[in-house]
Amino acid sequence: MSHRGLSFRPLLLLAVIFATACGSDECPSARLESLLVSGYRSNQVHRFDLCGVALSDLDDGGRISGAQATAVGPDGLLYVVSEENGRILRYRADTLSFVDTWFDLSENPSALGGIARPVALVFGREGSAYIGGFDSGRVARVSRDGTVDRVYDLAGRGLRGLDAGMTFHPDGRLLVPAYTSGAIYAVDVTTGDISRFAENIEGLSEPRVIVFDADRQQLWVSNEGSGLVLGLGLDGQPTGVSIPLPSATGLALDNGDLLATNDRNNTVVRYSASGEVKEVVVSPGGAVQGAVFLTVLASP
């Protein structure tokens, strides 16, 4: 079970969404992309098409325990963070076949510079992987050959509960959600300077994932605690736009739209750029349990 507590807010909003958005005859896309949904409690990364039809599960070898962030690297491989067994797994992004276990902290706890319970992984402009750990509050920078060449200690600056949805600001800083601290931190990955990008904002409570909109002028933050997907400007201040979504967790962009999920009902809802509901892509009741992260994966 996830280390994060489940909230028990009324599900009236989701009921309204289902009633008004489900059952649409229009498929949003005939494109070849697919949607990956990390199921923390189902210990799997589930794959859907963008109409919500279940395609396959990523791993049939029982390697994943507590699925978290997924990302395609500059080498064309799909990286999967498996929190509960401390693994970073790699798969081919085209065939989705298993390649190798890049890191296994159960065998070598110090392999990622002291990171404990890895949850986050994002790639920088230079091609390095940045991997963050929930319990340790640290981010390790890992070169393409698997060498850890720098560790950023955010816990030393007050961060508690580093969560899965890190991303890079257009100015090059790494933005890191702090679940327990209820804040977003910024790391200058060149100088190592660490600062608070957003804090003491109404609705910023137990943040999980950060994504930028298609124009890179606004960022969206999913907040499990407040049940809001909150819009922030490039300066970290509220834009005045928010989306109610109980127990909000994963976010992703698709063709200018925002996809959002939660770990209560395991739905995926499509929103317009202004935050209006367009449709329910993945309905509740399927194989996904504890949806925490979304990735739109390009198909060959």
Question: Given this model, what pLDDT does residue 46 score?
Answer: 97
pLDDT digits (tens, 9 = 90+) for 152-190: 999 999 999 999 999 999 999 999 999 999 999 999 999
Average pLDDT of 232-247? 95
28: pLDDT strictly greater than 70: no
What's the rounded mean pLDDT across residues 189-200?
97
pLDDT at 295 over 70: yes
Q: Mean of the pLDDT values across residues 188-210?
A: 97
Backbone torsion region of residue 62, taken as left when φ is above 0, otherwise alpha when ψ lies between -120 and 50, otherwise beta: left
- Supply the pLDDT for residue 4: 59
pLDDT tops 50 at residue 87? yes
Residues ≥6 apart with Cβ < 8 Å to 121:
69, 70, 71, 79, 81, 88, 129, 130, 131, 132, 166
33-56 per-position pLDDT tens digit = 899 999 999 999 999 999 889 999
Mean pLDDT of 227-249: 95
Least Cα distance to 251 among 285, 217, 275 occurs for 275
80 or 8, which is more confident = 80
First to last CA, the chain: 35
Residue 31 pLDDT grade (very low, low, confident, very high; cuts 50, 70, 90): low
Contacts of 8 (CB under 8 A, 6+ apart): none
Distance separating alpha carbons of residues 293 and 179, to the nearest angstrom: 14
What is the pLDDT, as a whole number, of residue 300?
A: 60
Range in 19-23, 55-59, 63-67, 290-294 with the lowest mean pLDDT: 19-23
How many other C-beta atoms can be found within 10 angstroms of the C-beta atom of residue 23? 10
Report whether 296 contacts 254 (CB < 8 A). Answer: yes
pLDDT at 20: 44
What tokens does 161 get? Answer: 């509960």
User: Sorting pLDDT into bands at 50, 70 and 90, what band is 32?
Assistant: confident
DSSP summary character for residue 157: G
